[in-house]
Structure 1
């Protein structure tokens, strides 16, 4: 985000806090990833993760760029449909699919089954509609790091996976056509290589013939400001690095297959393509020192910027207020809530003053979608395009937004 973007929004909305979406930066990043992967495998397709940031303006932008929708709930599914997505461009994942599952199945949408009970539910529906043919996929549980045991999908070679595949085969109007996987906390190249290795072996074992699709989920590093990238270490892969390690083995595996019969290869990026392109703008309201601890309180909260601020110090840009400034070797930037843990930035070093405008970068992932209606409503969001035109894409929440659902 550059200073001109901030100035453009402040001319339209002269208060804080608010979110700022860099539309052109998002587009450029999206296309860079897409081009790097399609240069190796032409049937690669982005399926954007709605749970990461389901701002409708951004989801619709993905649609205009040719991306598909990856949803994990009825709410997200309904949004994709309202945006005009055809069923075959909506990938329905998740461990607890809602009442719209059967509608999506009936209309030819992509469904990746998470567990045996969900498979049984689909089979029961198919039995009642025996004249119709249905296609489904399965989520494969991965062990690529040993850091934790994922709770999602089917463990390869497990009794549950065997029982589920047999259940599907026993239904003449159900066809298993694809496999899906996703795992968190494993963004490195080696973990992704192992992911591909496991998935290719699984397709050979559980899919009859060439699959219609393989979905590798998400979890790649995206573009980051240098100050944040340094906190992850020096070996941050580029999109071309991922393409060489992840896309090429699949391209090689299916090189003997005619182009029209090769599987679609999905990844489901969220944070990877959106995180850097949303910033959160907030103002310092007061500064104080208690028992040697310096604290600056702002009108935003750690709840506005997402979990990442509890793990890393987000890059922050300071716009000076013109008031008397003081240099701090270490000062915590605290949020408006009554929670002791509401710290957006730990041990900031530099000059600050009351009235300074702080812009926290890289907050596009799991921030807006995770913000609770706690103490005060959420902030508005503005999009700035390459001509620096400003559009409000999420209005400020109101008292009625919070309380109209309660019975008085």
Structure 2
């Protein structure tokens, strides 16, 4: 009968104090020394001889890492090789750049937002980084520049991210003893002497924005026909929201009585909950929708088609839906006496100071409500904006 494995827990590894060997299974042991120091040990037999292989201190090697190491060493045993000798030989050759990249990505995955981020790292380093089989100790400035030079001026953002990722891989390799010396991918004091600053060569990608002076007439044009896509675009413009925030919304996010739209962190670009005060115009649109259906379930291209069709006379289209956020910001900056942080929070942009941001999320909600109502009053005729009155806290709709 096979002996059980994974008998220890991470908690047990921290709390066990009895001197001696404590089995986890599969040949992995926690060794507690006379001084109380703890380390992982792999015990095995090869050609009738009992061997013992140290895997590192528990302060440096986790239980999961020790288990993974044992799996690799047992595989070496099945091949008829001595794991201790194989490790010495591997260290003399050194890890490859690809092996270090894989190890870094694996160690960071738990802290990333989603699996896509790991895939982006893997793909960019595979497609543009140093050769995966190159010994990581041999990577120097020449190799890094060969990766960056061809795309630095044509795909600057991609190249800048690639440089940072190569730097991280080489830092990981140095910390783990696989290379020495300065990092050839570091920017300050090194590559900044060989390449222009990214901001000097990057071509800004601006979202085409309608001048805010044309926005009221455009809103009137949207209201000429009653279509769900047109209502969705009007709502997007009135709230200065991102397209995906609107199309992905659900009814449980809207508190019509309080006049608040609460967007959960997982749907926000910045990964933080966002609260949108709803103007009378935005509330009127919501109240006119069928509650049996999701509010604005449609593809992002549906709204985009309304601003990228052949230009209605006088509008100079095409524009982008996202560009209406710039339209809102320009209007606020040029016509309203509103603090900049109020406008930035209306756009769900981060405030650098975290303590200040936490305070302002609550303190500025009424200032933002006034700003969004002023925006609605500017965009919509008074009769349209107030036909269905928003129920402010403590109020009731009048129609």
Q: TM-score w.r.t. structure 1 length?
A: 0.17
* More RCO (CA 8 Å, sep 6+): 1
Q: Which has the higher strand share?
A: 1
Q: TM-score w.r.t. structure 2 length?
A: 0.17
